Amino acid sequence: MAFTEFLSMKNNIASTLFFMVLMLATMSCKNDKDSSADDVVEVLDCSSVKTGKFKYANPAYGEWIIDRNETTSVEISKTDDLKIYSDVVWITDCEYELHITDTDNLDNMAVVSSVLRVVITDVMDYGYKCISYTPDGPEEFEMIRIDG
């Protein structure tokens, strides 16, 4: 086989593969005209839980109260008389970061400068569910609104 024939065959194979990939990609795209009501994805509206006072649904977290506004959060443990202060940075409507800035207990200063990412996964009338991504891994929480 001559070198030019080899190059020609190689180009034909490359062109054929390119068009096959392009055709597969095009066929896998969903056509809006074929969409049905079952295909509609509900977008989660987290605006009702961006601010307020919340407590953990899980009693293992004791009496921790979270008081959050658009830009700051204070977590208060009534049993330990401890407060943790954080800046809130909203990434999306349902995802935010807590940048821990201070604590009023010198024994817990190691948490200062930590950043936790929180993704709200569900919003209910009484609160919300979320996943908190910590250095120890993700944890799921359910939060209950306590400010009415």
The range of the structural domain enclosing residue 90 comes to 47-145
- Mean pLDDT on 35-56: 81
Top-confidence residue, 53 or 112: 53
Domain membership of residue 37 (yes or no) is: no
Task: List the single range of 71-75, 105-109, 126-130 with lowest mean pLDDT.
Answer: 105-109
Q: What is the pLDDT of residues 89-126, one digit of tens each?
A: 999 999 999 999 998 877 767 778 889 999 999 999 99
57 and 17 in a common domain: no
Q: Are residues 59 and 10 in the same domain?
A: no
Residue 38 in domain: no
What pLDDT digit, counting tens, does each position of 13-43 carry? 434 333 333 333 333 333 444 444 455 667 8
In this predicted model, which residue has the larger pLDDT, 40 or 76?
76
79 shares a domain with 11: no
Q: How confident is the model at residue 1 (pLDDT cuts 50, 70, 90)?
A: low
Tell me which residue has tokens 């910590």.
134
Confidence of residue 48 (pLDDT cuts 50, 70, 90): very high
| Torsion on CA atoms 26, 29, 33, 35, rounded to nearest 10 | 160
- Domain shared by 10 and 80, yes or no: no
7 and 80 in a common domain: no
Using CA atoms, how far residue 105 sits from 6, 25, 64, 77, in Å, is 75, 57, 15, 11
pTM for the model stands at 0.69
Band (5; pLDDT cuts 50, 70, 90): low
Q: What pLDDT score was predicted for residue 70?
A: 92
Which tokens belong to 81? 């008389």
Mean pLDDT of the chain: 78
85 and 25 both lie in a single domain: no
Q: Are residues 91 and 123 in the same domain?
A: yes
Q: For residue 121, tell me if it sits in a domain.
A: yes
Based on the fold, state whether residues 19 and 55 are members of the same structural domain: no
Q: Is the pLDDT of residue 60 over 50?
A: yes
Same domain, 20 and 73: no
d(CA 54, CA 37): 35
Provide mean pLDDT across the span 113-140.
93
Residues 87, 100: Cα–Cα separation, whole Å: 6
